[in-house]
Amino acid sequence: MKQYNVAVAGVTGAVGNVLLSIMQERKFPVKNLTALASVRSEGKKIKFLDEEIEIKELSENSFKNIDIALFSAGASRSKEFAPHAAESGAVVIDNSSAFRMDDEIPLVVPEVNPNDAFRHKGIIANPNCSTIIMAVAIKPLYDISPIKRIVVSTYQSVSGAGAKAIAELEKQSREIICEGKKVINCSVFPVQIAFNVIPHIDVFLENGYTKEEMKMHNETRKIFNDYNLSVSATTVRVPVFTSHSESINIETRDKITVSQARKAFLEGSGLTLMDDISNIVYPTPLDSSGKDNVFIGRIREDISVENGLSLWAVGDQLRKGAALNAVQIAELICGIKS
């Protein structure tokens, strides 16, 4: 099997760490790994397979002889350095928001639109984590009938906001439970996250939606190449460490029965069905954490509209919502069967 020189930009971050572990788990054919991060991490070492690899500072000269460059270093660094990687001959798979809505750059979920990956001009964009989870969940239904409208509410874990957000939830929980504090300091989130939910992810826009909510609208339309599809999202941060949950209500052109939907989910790619309410079986964040698939349950006909279905989807946003999707794109363009 052909081997590839791979660079990981943002290797010390949460997604960067998961990228390394997933490449090892899936035996991605890495010939040489280049670990890249900010100057603060230069000289430190990370372990990949049985080798200790020294971290180098990310720069425009980091990509000589690199075949695949996996970026998870933030949008500003992607905008600055990804074009240099592509000009050096690498295929960039970028996990930030930098290029997602660029008409010249494909936005890819391998279970949904794999062919789009092959029209890249050096850069492929990874969608937002919540968009990926929803896209994988609705694809089997879209294959039965075009979807006209989606109303989705997300319940997003704190790890989606980074390591400092995890620490804030831990700290606030200890202060409330162990120390009995009534006044809680917040630095990452605008209000207390422990024992609370926050209906606000990313900045508010003029239309009243947040940037995160509009990502789900815009990115879903691009992935499905269906600009008649409308998505209304409410994104909520919840005091859960890992995995995002989504309540998804869809309206289709043609009627899809619950039994048709269950069959489609059982046969769909990247999905696990947990849908047996008589035995209290449905997916929770604990079920999906550390797992690759998107989990589906609570499937029911929507009683408020003629051709509607409601369902519950849960996925690990660090894996399928970010790192796994990127590695799957790399496998796709390298012709590797997963």
CB within 8 Å of 61: residues ≥ 6 apart: 84
Q: Same domain for 313 and 326? A: no
Residue 96 falls inside a structural domain:
yes
Residue 338 falls inside a structural domain:
no
Q: Same domain for 118 and 199? A: no
Which CATH number is 117's domain given? 3.40.50.720
Domain tally, the chain: 2
Q: Same domain for 268 and 327? A: no
Q: Same domain for 114 and 215? A: no
Cα–Cα dist 247/153, whole Å: 5
Type and span of the H or E element at 273:
strand 271-273
Give a three-class secondary structure readout of 40-80: HHCCCEEEECCEEEECEECCCCCCCCCCEEEECCCHHHHHH
9, two tokens: 């930009």
Question: What residue type is assigned to position 178 of the chain?
Answer: C
| DSSP assigned state of 92 | E
Q: Same domain for 123 and 135? A: no
The pLDDT, as a whole number, for residue 147 is 98
Point out which residues pair with 314 in neighbouring strands. 245, 295
The pLDDT, as a whole number, for residue 163 is 84
Question: What residue type is assigned to position 241 of the chain?
Answer: F
CB within 8 Å of 206: residues ≥ 6 apart: none
Q: Same domain for 188 and 114? A: no
Does residue 155 contact residue 238 with C-beta atoms inside 8 Å? yes
Residue 195 falls inside a structural domain:
yes
The pLDDT, as a whole number, for residue 293 is 98
Model pTM? Answer: 0.96
Residue 208 falls inside a structural domain:
yes
Output b/e per residue, 284-298; b: 16+ Cβ within 10 A.
ebebbbebbbbbbbe
Q: Same domain for 143 and 98? A: no
Instruction: Give the length of the chain.
Output: 338
Residue 119 falls inside a structural domain:
yes
Does residue 326 contact residue 8 with C-beta atoms inside 8 Å? no
CB within 8 Å of 185: residues ≥ 6 apart: none
Q: Same domain for 265 and 287? A: yes
Residue 273 falls inside a structural domain:
yes
Question: What residue type is assigned to position 284 of the chain?
Answer: T
CB within 8 Å of 85: residues ≥ 6 apart: 7, 9, 62, 63, 66, 69, 71, 92, 122
Domain carrying residue 192: 131-317
Q: Same domain for 32 and 177? A: no
Q: Which residue numbers are catalytic?
A: 129, 244
Sequential pLDDT tens for the chain (338 residues)? 899 999 999 999 989 999 999 999 999 999 999 999 999 999 999 999 989 999 999 999 999 999 999 999 999 999 999 999 999 999 999 999 999 999 999 999 999 999 999 999 999 999 999 999 999 999 999 999 999 999 999 999 999 998 899 999 999 999 999 999 999 999 999 999 999 999 999 999 999 999 999 999 999 999 999 999 999 999 999 999 999 999 999 999 999 999 999 999 999 999 999 999 999 999 999 999 999 999 999 999 999 999 999 999 999 999 999 999 999 999 999 999 86
Q: Same domain for 144 and 275? A: yes
Q: Same domain for 104 and 249? A: no
> 279: alpha, beta or left, given left = phi > 0 and alpha = psi -120 to 50?
alpha
Q: Same domain for 28 and 156? A: no
Which CATH number is 136's domain given? 3.30.360.10
